[in-house]
Amino acid sequence: SAKEKGRNQYHFFDPGLDEHRRNRRAQLMEISRALENQEFELFFQPQIRLADGRLLGFEALIRWRHPQKGLVSPGEFLPIVENSHLEVPLGQWVLKEAIHQMNVWKEAGEDMAVSINISAPHLMDHSFADYLESYLYSHPEVNPGQITLEVLESTALEDTKQASNVLARCQTLGLRVALDDFGTGFSSLTYLRTLPVDIIKIDQSFVRNMLEDASDHAIVESVIFLAQRFSHPVLAEGVETMEHARALRQMGCNFAQGYGFARPMPATAVLGWARQHRRDPSGNASDPALSA
Ligand code: C2E
Ligand code: MG
Ligand code: MG
Ligand code: MG
């Protein structure tokens, strides 16, 4: 029939797009199922104060413990989730899970600060702040001052004014705001001027080669200078060796995070790491990157 013919023609002209859509839908269904089956897990990576080596807190980083594929990193599934109906539910799961872990550690006698990555849609209306507010209200044991929201600098925040309002409201609730991956976006300076930020995270792409590459070195130095002018503390990401840590400290960088201190670890390893680190703040020698 003509109808069948039309359908065949459609497939003939655009098979790729169709398959792409089917694929994505299947992937999203799998992710939705994974969320229900609690296959997602948060890993935690320490953030260190460079002046004295003390522990500032941990950044929560999502992983997917896939029944067949094993541990899947966020770079592989967050792009699929982006702009889908799952983005907000997954973000809410991260928030709840991070706070749950904070409470587990608190019950074990350790008050641990946690940084949580949040994606752009959470800042486009007030529902995330509403959710946060009611969650904190019903969990008075949680100290909001121990929570930092990491906002991706490179995410095109379509509506910076609205994002500022939402972030300012989160700050009113007692949370801190970090500008993540600073320097990688197209509007770094605009964000710096517009968004209410408490801390700036220099992207690891600048830090990695800063000891060999004069341009990267200049960028890192300039970002630290800029942040100081705005009275914002700075954290360098991707600090893989103590040489990097030393150089950053000399440049006036406040905090660091990276394999040089520790790789992201399961929640069950956090207390042990924190206690060991307190006993011996310079003893990160378990990581081979340091002795190199
Ligand atoms: P990010 O927030 O900038 O996190 C830093 C990334 O760098 C993490 O990758 C971390 O494992 C990695 N990293 C840390 N230290 C080093 C180092 O010394 N060298 C190198 N080469 N890499 C290092 P990961 O865990 O794969 O996360 C990638 C990105 O995915 C994150 O970048 C963040 O943007 C996003 N992400 C992770 N978890 C979440 C989450 O729960 N929610 C949202 N919305 N995004 C998340
Ligand atoms: Mg981050
Ligand atoms: Mg980052
Ligand atoms: Mg990043």
pLDDT, position 192: 87
pLDDT tens by residue, 2-35: 444 444 445 555 667 788 888 999 999 999 999 9
Whose tokens are 């522990």? That residue is: 55
Q: Report d(CA 22, CA 159) in Å as an integer.
A: 31
What three-state secondary structure class fits 261?
coil
91 conformational bin, left if phi > 0, alpha if psi -120 to 50, beta if neither: alpha
Tell me the pLDDT tens digit for each residue of 32-72.
999 999 999 999 999 999 999 999 999 999 999 999 999 99
Would you place residue 291 in the very low, low, confident or very high pLDDT band (cuts 50, 70, 90)?
very low
Ligand 1 binding pocket (C-beta < 6 A) is 45, 60-62, 73-75, 78, 91, 94, 117-119, 150, 152, 180-181, 204, 237-240, 257-259, 264
Q: Which residue carries 């959470």 as its tokens?
A: 122
Residue 288 — very low, low, confident or very high, per pLDDT cuts 50/70/90?
very low
Q: Which atom of ligand 1 is nearest to the CA of 94?
A: 41
Q: Give me ligand 3 centre to Cα 197, in Å.
A: 15
Question: Residue whose CA is closest, atom 5 of ligand 1?
Answer: 237
Residue 259 has pLDDT above 50, yes or no: yes
**Whose alpha carbon is nearest atom 37 of ligand 1?**
61
Contacts of 284 (CB under 8 A, 6+ apart): 242, 260, 261, 262, 277, 290
Nearest CA to ligand 1 atom 20: 238
- Report, as an integer, the average pLDDT of 138-166: 85
**Does 190 score more than 90 pLDDT?**
no
